[in-house]
Amino acid sequence: MDVAIAAIETSSIAQGTVVGDAMVKTAEVNLVLATSISPGKYWVLIGGEVAPVRAAFQRGLEVAADTLLDSLFIPQVHAMVLPALQGVAAGADDDALGVIETLTASAAIVAADHAAKAAAVTLRDLRLANGLGGKGVLFLTGDVSDVQAAVEAGRAEALRKGLLARSVVIPRLHRQMKDRVF
């Protein structure tokens, strides 16, 4: 399992491809995702040991230059973040749903990491950019008080960067909505 992750989001698909190539050439890292995302942006996500990921991330920032939209480096990513990103996170039939919507994909991952570290919640799904107008959205579940604490922690970081679109906590989510959301 990757200990650290880093991502770079660019305003240019062409330059984003150059960024991804530079990152994986810089250090021994795992290329988790490299793809164009809507609307006309490029996203590179890498993982691995902390020092190589940090080196590759620094190189990616240099290469992105003026096309950089957002970025993240998380040296000790919470274990639930990548499964949520891959849409394979299982969860119990919890009492409450929290949703954090961000303006960038990177901001959603950082919010997910902060939320998971703040309270006993399950990161159920982490959707990025495509089909969302470039936004990121995180769905998490748990007891109402834990969901409130997690959402507050996740939204605070996105808000600090000016990248929070909206956050909500829904206690006792109706069964019909649960069936649609997950």
Query: Mean pLDDT in runs of 10 for the chain (182 residues)?
Result: 86 97 97 88 94 98 96 93 75 82 92 96 85 84 95 95 95 80 67
pLDDT given at position 172: 86
Q: How many CB atoms lie within 10 A of CB 15?
A: 17
CATH of domain 4-74: 3.30.70.1710
Residues 6+ apart with CB under 8 A from 160: none
Helix (H, G, I), strand (E, B) or coil at 22: helix
Q: Which residue has the tokens 């240099």?
A: 62
pLDDT given at position 92: 66
Residues 6+ apart with CB under 8 A from 174: none
What are the residue boundaries of the structural domains of the chain, listed by start?
A: 4-74, 81-181
In this structure, are residues 72 and 165 in contact, taking their beta carbons and an 8 Å threshold? no
Predicted TM-score of the model (pTM): 0.85
Residues in the chain: 182
**The CATH homologous superfamily of the domain defined by 81-181:** BMC (bacterial microcompartment) domain (3.30.70.1710)
pLDDT given at position 90: 67
pLDDT given at position 94: 72
Establish whether domains 4-74 and 81-181 are of one fold.
Answer: yes
> What is the C-alpha separation between 73 and 30, in angstroms, rounded?
14
Segment holding 107, helix H or strand E: helix 105-118
pLDDT given at position 182: 63
